[in-house]
């Protein structure tokens, strides 16, 4: 893989972020309902710290959103054809750096169940589960936390 750049998302990224979320192969079968009609809005991008990972041609490889209050990782996605290339690791490392730089002590993650082990490998600890919220989410989700040392940034 060539160089990957992580940059702040802009209003013009809303449509392609929506497409990335909706097309994620990780959200098929029983998980499809959570993203089937999801829309990443211009307002969401303006309100939160949303970042995109792109290649040299500006092809969208992944994204994340850091919600400040309460501190939470949201919308962490890697394009299906970029899985296994280290994009997710780069995005989480970037998010942790940003969170430390803004003075956050921790960042909560409500994980897609198949992604839990990835977050644990990245240093998050499991702190519980989040109950289903039908009709869209009919399964429990792991709740994790990254504890941040401000001295590390």
Determine which helix (DSSP H) or strand (DSSP E) holds 67, and give its type and residue range: strand 60-67
Residue 13: count other Cβ atoms within 10 Å of its Cβ: 21
Domain count for the chain: 1
pLDDT one digit per residue (tens) for the chain, 153 residues: 569 999 999 999 999 999 999 999 999 999 999 999 999 999 999 999 999 999 999 999 999 999 999 999 999 999 999 999 999 999 999 999 999 999 999 999 999 999 999 999 999 999 999 999 999 999 999 999 999 986 665
**Closest to 95 (Cα-Cα) out of 137, 151, 153:** 153
Containing domain of residue 125, as a range?
5-152
Q: Which pTM was predicted?
A: 0.94
CATH number of the domain enclosing 89: 3.40.630.30
**C-alpha–C-alpha distance, residues 47 and 86, integer Å:** 27
pLDDT given at position 153: 56
As a whole number of angstroms, the distance between CA 9 and CA 148 comes to 24
């Amino acid at each position: 893989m060539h160089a990957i750049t992580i940059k702040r998302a802009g209003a013009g990224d809303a449509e392609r972020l929506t497409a990335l979320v909706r097309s994620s192969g990780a959200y098929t079968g029983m998980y499809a309902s959570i993203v089937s009609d999801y829309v990443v809005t211009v307002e969401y991008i303006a309100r939160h710290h949303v970042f995109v990972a792109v290649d040299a041609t500006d092809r969208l490889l992944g994204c994340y959103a850091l919600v400040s209050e309460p501190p939470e990782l949201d919308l962490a996605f890697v394009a299906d054809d970029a899985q296994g290339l280290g994009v997710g690791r780069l995005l989480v490392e970037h998010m942790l750096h940003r969170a430390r730089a803004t003075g956050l002590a921790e960042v909560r993650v409500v994980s897609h169940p198949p992604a839990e082990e990835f977050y644990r490998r990245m240093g998050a600890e499991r702190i519980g589960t989040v109950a289903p919220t039908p009709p869209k989410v009919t399964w429990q989700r792991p709740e994790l936390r990254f504890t941040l040392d401000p001295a590390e940034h």
